[in-house]
Amino acid sequence: MTRNFILILACVVMISACHSTFRKQSAPTPSGISDATIAGAIKSINDQNPGGNAAVIEKGIQHAASLWRDADGTPEDFVKFCNENYMADPIQKEASFRRFSEYLESLFGHFNKLSLDMQENVTLLKGDVLSFDPLFAGYNPGAHLMNDLYENKIAFIVALNFPYYSTEEKNTSGLDWTPLEWGYARLGDVFSSRVPSELVQQESKVAAESDAYIADYNIYMGNLLNKDNEKLFPENMVLLSHWNLRDEIKANYANKEVGFEKQALIYQVMERIVDQTIPKVVINSGKQDWNPITNEVSVSGSVIESPDETDERYQQILNTFHVYQAVDPFNPDMNTAIQRAFSSGMQIPQPEVQKLFNEFLSSSQIQEVAAIIKKRLGRELSPWDIWYDGFKARSSFNEEMLNSITEKKYPNAAALEADLENILLKLGFTKEKATFIASRVSVDPARGSGHAWGASMKSEKAHLRTRIPASGMNYKGYNIAIHEFGHNVEQTISLNEVPNYMINGVPNTAFTEALAFVFQERDLFLLNMKDPNPDKEFLKTLDIFWSLYEIMGVSMVDMKMWQWLYANPASTAEELKQTVLQISKDVWNAYYAPVFGQKDQTILGIYSHMVNSPMYLPNYAFGHLIHFQLEEHFKTHEFAPEVLRIYALGQLTPNEWMKQAVGAPLSNEAILKAADVAIEKMK
């Protein structure tokens, strides 16, 4: 299915609810369309169109038959339908495609807007969340759309004339397709499966509930106690897991006094989140003090009873798995969530992803880069140094100074929105393009972490959700906001500048992550902060390299967890927890223990994406690879015009997009070669 369709009808953030339940669906009703009936329909249409494309005729009829149910009509009705609705005239077919595109843009666009409206009170800072707000947030206005389009036969007209092509078929046939032919194929993607509306609604419900669970997973840092029961963090510091906790570790590399101790304390918090020994009472609460080392909770110095969260994190994941299981039978070509996430969503089969990651994680360059980091730190590596941030230009700047700049510049969301055009102008966009793109982006104050939500019709805006404290946007928030604005720029270009609506977007979310990384890389430049370091290009290479090393390991844990879930579908939350802890240790011991000198660490299981965005993490790894290849391309090509050209290519397959964008397929080769040069220089 297209990215738009998944976004609107399944809320994209595919995960689970807090102990949600749902009714199991039975297997799809057999179609009753026999091979003989299909053969008869094919012969009938071929006889009527002797000069037609026999392969396309057969593919369209086969696909329509796979979606037909007894309730749709008899076998005779099916043959009659095919004869009456097959479009033999290419001019009529193109005109019909344009008309379908208009209708779907309106449907997808308005349902997208409705979904945003339903979730506003939960996701944005609009006062208290009332008891019924999550119910609206979990409601999917478009849940019945697909069933309706099958029942009125529109879906079958599309399936017959614009059949579905697998990723493998697109990778071969698509090499010679025009943008119009790509549009035909993407229209066919919309009707590749037939999931009951009840399950579509359930997916949306559990996604919204899990989003709410993660959005409120705050740690009140001012209430943390160290081994001496001292407080190290500002009283008003509240950090969301895992994003803000990770970023606070990064920020403290510049703190030469207590930075290491702060990092160690945050790491202890993370470990307790992963193994669920975190006291439930300290989650999203600043009413008590907590010592993560002893795990004691106290009020006014007196220790109180504080039960652990236990298995809530893993019950969330289990609930998602179960709703995905219920969807599986309705996707005959992609009958597991793993296949849908990789072969369909990423358009790269999961074994190929795992092979690419293993190749990188086993590379000899990792030990050499680790040696450089040790030398720069002046100590042995600690487990949290997977997030070492010292290669970035900002590592040489005092964060308090950076905070003072961003807090003054962006006191609220309106100030950031007003500055978007200036940001684009500074990056080299023309006045016309900068004005247009900035006018298509709305900045909203987020309750949880920052994120970007694209429009699905050209008359609507993309949304940049960012978290801004009352004191103004701190540097970490600004850095994330620039990342999210990169998403918005991609979303706006790939919706408004593509040759036709059905190929709007990018091959997968890694490609939008890549542009987000490109923008994020330029955050200090946008603040007029110049990095005079002559080695900055080599440092940038090492920064991307180390980021890949971290996120590929995290992604491995996520993928292996889902493989285990499908092998053990009756598992409990406790069993899942123990399994994730063991998988985290196994991946750590395979790829990190030889470098860090410590075994059995569980920190690779900390990412919140494992709870509310299943199997999304590999997109970050691919995003870093694409980011690096784009940055190499921008060294010899003008930035803004190339961003506009590249992100107007639309939804091709990943390798075809990369070839047209930068002239080379997606691989580890470029970053590994560049790392060799950077390592030699930095030795």
Long-range CB pairs of 385-390, under 8 A, 24+ apart, other chains included: 385/596, 386/549, 386/550, 386/553, 386/592, 386/603, 387/246, 387/249, 387/250, 387/550, 388/253, 388/546, 389/250, 389/251, 389/253, 389/543, 390/253
Q: 20 pLDDT exceeds 60? A: no
Pair 652, 507: CB distance under 8 Å: yes
Q: Please indicate, yes or no, if residue 422 is contained in any of the structural domains.
A: no
The pLDDT-based confidence of 167 (bands split at 50, 70, 90) is confident
Same domain, 299 and 339: no
Residue 392, domain member (yes or no): no
* pLDDT for residue 587 is more than 90: yes
- 253: Cβ contacts below 8 Å, ≥ 6 apart: 259, 388, 389, 390, 395
pLDDT at 150 over 90: yes
pLDDT tens digits along 222-257:
999 999 999 999 999 999 999 999 999 999 998 999
pLDDT of residue 530: 83
* pLDDT band of 200, cuts 50, 70, 90: confident
Whether residue 30 is found in the same domain as residue 165: yes
Read off the pLDDT of each residue in 662-672 and give the average, rounded to a whole number. Answer: 93
In contact, 456 and 477? CB cutoff 8 Å: no
Answer with the residue of higher pLDDT: 564 or 23: 564
Stretch 457-486: mean pLDDT? 93
More confident: 138 or 410:
410
Number of domains in the chain: 2
Residue ranges in 328-457 assigned as alpha helix (H): 337-339, 350-361, 365-377, 399-409, 413-426, 431-439
pLDDT (average), residues 589-618: 96
pLDDT for the residue 449: 67
Residue 7 — very low, low, confident or very high, per pLDDT cuts 50/70/90?
very low
Is 451 a domain residue? Answer: no
pLDDT for 645 equals 98
Is the pLDDT at 532 greater than 80, yes or no?
Answer: no
pLDDT of 123 reads 84
Q: Assess whether 286 and 337 both reside in one domain.
A: no
pLDDT at position 39 is 95
> How much is the pLDDT for 16?
28
The verdict on 68 and 157 lying in the same domain is yes
Q: Which two tokens stand for residue 208?
A: 């919204």
| Domain's final residue, options 299, 327, 343 | 343
Cβ contact 129:121 at 8 Å: yes
- Mean pLDDT, rounded, for 566-595: 98
Residue 177 in domain: yes
Share of residues in the chain with pLDDT > 90 (%)? 76
Q: What is the mean pLDDT of residues 22-44?
A: 72
pLDDT at 171 over 90: no
175 and 224 housed in the same domain: no
pLDDT of residue 204 exceeding 90:
no
Identify the pLDDT of residue 27: 46
Average pLDDT value for residue range 584-604: 98
593 or 212, which is more confident?
593
What range defines the domain where residue 238 resides?
217-275+277-310
Mean pLDDT, the chain, whole residue set:
91
Higher pLDDT, 125 or 149: 149
Compute the average pLDDT of residues 379-391. 96
On whether both 147 and 95 belong to a single domain, the answer is yes
> Looking at residue 394, what is its pLDDT?
67
The pTM of this model reads 0.80
CA distance 503 to 481: 27
Q: What pLDDT, on the 0 to 100 scale, is given for residue 584?
A: 98
Are 191 and 224 in the same domain?
no
**Is residue 268 situated within a structural domain?**
yes
For residue 15, the model assigns a pLDDT of 28
